[in-house]
Amino acid sequence: MWRPLLSRFLVAFLVLSAFIPMESIAGESFPTLINLPNGWLPEGIETGRGAVLYSGSRANGGIYAIDLRTGEGRILVPGQTGRVAVGLAFDERSNYIFVAGGATGNAFIYDADTGESVAAYRLAPSARTFINDVVVTRDAAYFTESNRAVLYRVPLGAGGELPAQDAVQTVPLTGQWQQVSGFNANGVVASADGGALIVINSALGTLYEVDPATGFALAIDVGASMTMGDGLLLLGNTLYVVRNRLNQIAVIDLAPDLATGVVINVITNGNFDTPTTLAAFGTRLYAVNARFGAPPTPQTPYQVVGFER
């Protein structure tokens, strides 16, 4: 009698397992702390196809690819003199990684499988620049500029086809946008349809809804200041704001029109050490420790922190 019962149990288990995402089954065993190469100087991270996480290096523009199931990683894009990687974005259509180039004033694009350099764009005309973050929509890649009241737009063709250099556009930030001393525009995300961007002004602690076509900005009232706001993550109507030196992530429930929001949670974690941005995979979030207060030596260790959302 027990053998038929066991067989029926196994069949039922296999049928149910087919409908349960693998990340839900294995999520609890995914590593909580993932080591990056010593001296990496990370800031931006992004997920790609499958259980892969990419981390960029401010030291040399390299890209490190991590298997989230094991925590093991490899150098995908070797670092090189004169390159910097700050914010990252991934385009599922082309399998390209878009990289904000910080004080270089450039944007870099790499093939996510091979690490091959696909393109580079000059975004900022002057030396006083900091290309901080990037988001990819169906129509374009948008890069934030922390030192000027502008966004940079790299239009994309069908399937994410890349344009020539002369197609790059500078979009002035207007409306209610305020530019002050210090770092201004930082993290950026897009609504699901790409019709609106959300940008954090780190110096003011203000979130803005920005029209990607015109740059017209409206302040989003969330009932609290988001000073030290850095990377953003938008999942449905839930906005995550990383507040780097506070070692916190604010969780905001946004209204459907993006005009207002309510802070519904503040995530803290004993493993946070100046997190700068985060990415999502399944039910888990991943925050990268930039460790701005640690000496940036070749031996300085850096980690990515994983946790349930």
Element (H, E) at 191: none
pLDDT at 285 exceeding the cut of 90: yes
pLDDT at 147 exceeding the cut of 90: yes
Question: What percent of the chain clears pLDDT 70, i.e. is strictly above it?
Answer: 91
Q: What is the pLDDT of residues 105-123, one digit of tens each?
A: 999 999 999 999 999 999 9
pLDDT at 126 exceeding the cut of 80: no
> What pLDDT score does 5 carry?
41
> What pLDDT score does 28 carry?
55
Q: How far apart are CA 68 and CA 11, in angstroms?
A: 29
Element (H, E) at 22: helix 22-26
pLDDT at 170 exceeding the cut of 70: yes
Q: What is the pLDDT of residues 227-247, one digit of tens each?
A: 999 999 999 999 999 999 999
In words, the CATH class of domain 26-308 is: mainly beta
- Kindly report the average pLDDT of the chain as a whole number: 92
Q: What are the domain boundaries of the chain?
A: 26-308
List, in order, residues 6 or more apart from 284 with CB less than 8 Å away.
23, 27, 30, 68, 306, 307, 308, 309
174-175 and 216-220: which strand pairing? parallel
> What pLDDT score does 139 carry?
97
Q: What is the pLDDT of residues 180-196, one digit of tens each?
A: 999 999 999 999 999 99
Given strand 140-145, what is the order of strands in its sheet? 131-136, 140-145, 150-155, 169-172
- pLDDT band, residue 127 (cuts 50/70/90): confident
Query: What pTM did the predictor assign?
Result: 0.90
With contact defined as beta carbons under 8 Å apart, do 187 and 133 qualify? yes
Q: Which residues of 271-297 are buried (b: 16+ CB within 10 A; e: fewer)?
A: ebbbbbbbbebbebbbbbbbbeeeeee
Q: How far apart are CA 109 and CA 107, in angstroms?
A: 7
pLDDT at 226 exceeding the cut of 60: yes
Among 212, 114, 198, which residue's Cα sits nearest to residue 156?
212
Q: What is the pLDDT of residues 5-44, one digit of tens each?
A: 434 434 343 333 443 444 444 445 899 999 999 999 999 9
> What pLDDT score does 29 carry?
82
